[in-house]
Amino acid sequence: MIAGQASEYIGATALLDDLPKAQWLPGDRGYDADWFRDALQAKGIQPCVPGRSSRNKPVSYDKRRYRRRSRIEIMFGRLKDWRRVATRYDRCPTTFFAAVALAATALFWL
C-alpha cells in the first residue's frame, strides 16, 4: 500500500518484473521518472507518460494514446458506482468477474 501523498511509481517497482508483454504503457504524470522510463524501454515497452511541469527537458509521448487512457479510468469509475462491484460482495473470483461483466454490459448499453 502506498501513502496518499507518495508518488505512484515507487510502488510500480515491485510490479516491473511481472508486467505482461505490451507495446506501450499509458500512465499519468505520477509515473514520470527517468529510471522508470528506462526500465520500461529495457522490457521493450514504450512509455506513454507526459512529463511533469518541473522537468527541465520535456519528454515526447503520444498524446492521442494518452487521451485514450481517460476512457479506461472513466470505465473503472462507472464500475465503482455499482455497489456490488465496488465492495466486492462476491468472494468467489468467477462470480465477481460475472458481476463485473454484467455491470460493464449494462454500462455499455446505457
- Mean predicted confidence (pLDDT) in 68-76: 83
Question: CB of 40 within 8 A of CB of 25?
Answer: yes
What is the domain count for the chain?
Answer: 2
Q: Are residues 62 and 29 in the same domain?
A: yes
Q: Are residues 64 and 36 in the same domain?
A: yes
Q: Which domain holds residue 97?
A: 80-110
Per-residue pLDDT at 14: 79
Instruction: Answer yes or no: is 6 within a domain.
Output: no
Q: What does DSSP assign to residue 29?
A: G
Q: Using one digit for the tens of pLDDT, what is the confidence trace for 1-50?
A: 555 666 666 777 778 888 888 898 888 888 888 888 898 899 899 989 89
Per-residue pLDDT at 2: 55
Instruction: Answer yes or no: is 12 within a domain.
Output: no
> Which amino acid type is present at position 6?
A
Q: Are residues 25 and 61 in the same domain?
A: yes
Instruction: Answer yes or no: is 86 within a domain.
Output: yes
Mean pLDDT rounded to a whole number for the chain: 83
- Mean predicted confidence (pLDDT) in 47-54: 88
By CB atoms closer than 10 A (0-12, 13-18, 19+), residue 49 is buried
Instruction: Answer yes or no: is 75 within a domain.
Output: no
